[in-house]
Structure formats: C-alpha cells, structure tokens
Amino acid sequence: MAGHVDDIVHSLIDSWIDDGECEFVSQFALPLPAIIIAEQLGLSRDEIGTFKRWADAIAATGKRVLNEEEMREVVEVQLEAQHYLFNVFEDRRAKPQNDIISALVHAHKEGEDPLSMHELQNIMHQLVSGGFETTTSALAGALWLLIRHPDQMALLRENRDLLPNFVEESLRYESPVQGLARQTTTDIELNGTLIPKDSVVIVRYAAANRDEEKFPDSGKFDITRENAKRQLAFGLGAHFCLGASLARQEMISAFDALLDRLDNIQLARELPTPVHPPSFLLHPFTELPIKFDAKK
C-alpha cells in the first residue's frame, strides 16, 4: 500500500501548500489515516467527518468522567454508528466486496459459526477508533517534536535513512496511547504490591517508554537512539496493535513528503497550555497550526 499512501499524502499537501500555512491536524494528520481506513473498510472517504464523530464518541469515556447528559449524547452517537454498520454488514453478507468488512462478515469456514453481530461491532469499534484518534495524534506529535528540536529535523532532512528510527523514537517520546485498561487473570505481586486476580489495571505504555533502565536519558528526543524500536506504543503480545505496520507506513510516507516539499516549518502561533486535552488513556492533539516555505 506504500505507493497509494504516498499518493494520498501528496494530494493532501497539494491542497494547502500554496497557502504557506495550514492547521496540520484537521488538514493532514486527521484526513490521512481517515481516508485510508475508510477505503480499507469499504466505507466512503466522503463521510470521514461522520466517522470522526463516531471515533470521538467511542473514545469519549476514556478521556474524562462524563456527566449523565454527556453520556447520553455519546451513547446516541455510538448507537447511530452501530445501526449504520449493521446495514453495511448485512449488505456485505449478501454482496461481498474486496474490503475488510466483507472479509470479517465471511470470516468462517464451512461448519463454523460466523462472527456474531456483537463481535463485528466490537472489531469495528477498534478499527474506527484506531484509524482516527491514535494515528492522528502520532502524526501531529511527531511534527511537534521536530519543530521543538530543529537539530533533529535538520539531521532527518540530511539523512532520510533515519526515517524509520525517527518514527519509533517519536512514538516512544509522545506515545499516542498513554495506557489501556487490562484485567489480571491471577494474583500477582509487583514491586511488593499484591494485585489480586480480576483487578482492573491501567497499563501505562508511556511510562514504560520513559524507563531509564531501558532507554537511558529517556527525556531526550534522539532520532539516532539505537533501541528506539523497543518502544511499547503499540502494546505487546496478544494485544499488539493490529494497525502498527500501516501506522508506521503512514508516518514514513508523510514525513518523507513533508520534508521534501516544506522548508522552515514552524508553529504559526503559540499553542495553548496544556497542549493536550485531558485524557485518561490517550494523548490527543486538537490543533497544530504551522507555517512554512514551499520548496520550489
């Protein structure tokens, strides 16, 4: 898919490069993964605004405590998404296409039960939220790091072979998923603290990515860090991120093109403090206004 990802990257840059500035989140970091995940699922890229609203509702309870009115609004949007997807599932059941939804609906052999509606909805819940929120934050966070570390941006411009390692280091340093809830399957003692079976634990990937024993001088952003790929931003084991390879390609394609076509990338104005809105689990960006010189 690398060539297709490259094409989408350049088409997005084409839409604002002559302006000398853009709001990077809404004009690039959001539409890039949104278009790609919509296409892969078999949904219309013209409706990514709707899918973003669904993703926001899916992620809402992981950001902060909601009051009753807010919770009702979130549930209504999630129900809207479920009803829409139910109709898509039924359509693909009757008329399969070359897309992920068709593959899921027909993912069973003769004599096996197909995925239930609950299972299908749950998988789509993961794909929609992952395809919008997390990769958007990864792209925005990586550019924000380069702007704040011009020496690293200059190094990356000079040596594009560092692109894959830059992606890993930016994911380590600005982990888009700060943590997720897991349930213990047995009693476990950790650093002298007993965690009983069936306890809910928030596993903090971002904290692991700043572990000095694993990443010396962990507070330094260094795109030449030798073990950057040991970062846990994508999780580990059975819970490893399904879209990790796609996210990495999107980031590599994006920054290769951005550095090819833009010079003097800077913030167009100061960002609000704190930069990231509150979230229990994520590390979102709401905006990243930039200005630049278009390369001739």
Q: What is the pLDDT of residues 146-202, one digit of tens each?
A: 999 999 999 999 999 999 999 999 999 999 999 999 999 999 999 999 999 999 999
Burial 273-290 (b: 16+ CB within 10 A, else e): eeebeebebbbbbeebbb
Q: Cα–Cα distance between 30 and 144 in angstroms, integer? A: 15
Per DSSP (E only), the strands in 169-218 are 180-183, 188-190, 193-195, 200-203
Output the pLDDT for position 105: 96
Query: For the chain, which residues score pLDDT lower than 70?
Result: none
Average pLDDT over all residues of the chain: 95
Burial of residue 49 (CB within 10 Å: 0-12, 13-18, 19+) is exposed
Output the pLDDT for position 79: 96
Q: Coil, helix or strand for 153?
A: helix
Output the pLDDT for position 296: 79
Q: Cα–Cα distance between 36 and 135 in angstroms, integer? A: 11
Q: What CATH number has the domain spanning 2-174+203-294?
A: 1.10.630.10
Evaluate whether 169 touches 228 at the Cβ level (below 8 Å).
Answer: yes
- Helix 68-94 to helix 48-60 angle (10° resolution) is 130
Output the pLDDT for position 125: 87
For 251-281, what is each residue's pLDDT tens digit? 999 999 999 999 999 999 999 999 999 899 9
Closest residue by Cα to residue 32 from 256, 230, 211: 256
pTM of the model: 0.94
Evaluate whether 9 touches 253 at the Cβ level (below 8 Å).
Answer: yes
Evaluate whether 120 touches 89 at the Cβ level (below 8 Å).
Answer: yes
Q: Which residue has the tokens 């239930």?
A: 116
Q: Cα–Cα distance between 108 and 103 in angstroms, integer? A: 9
Joined together, the tokens standing for residue 204 give 């903090």
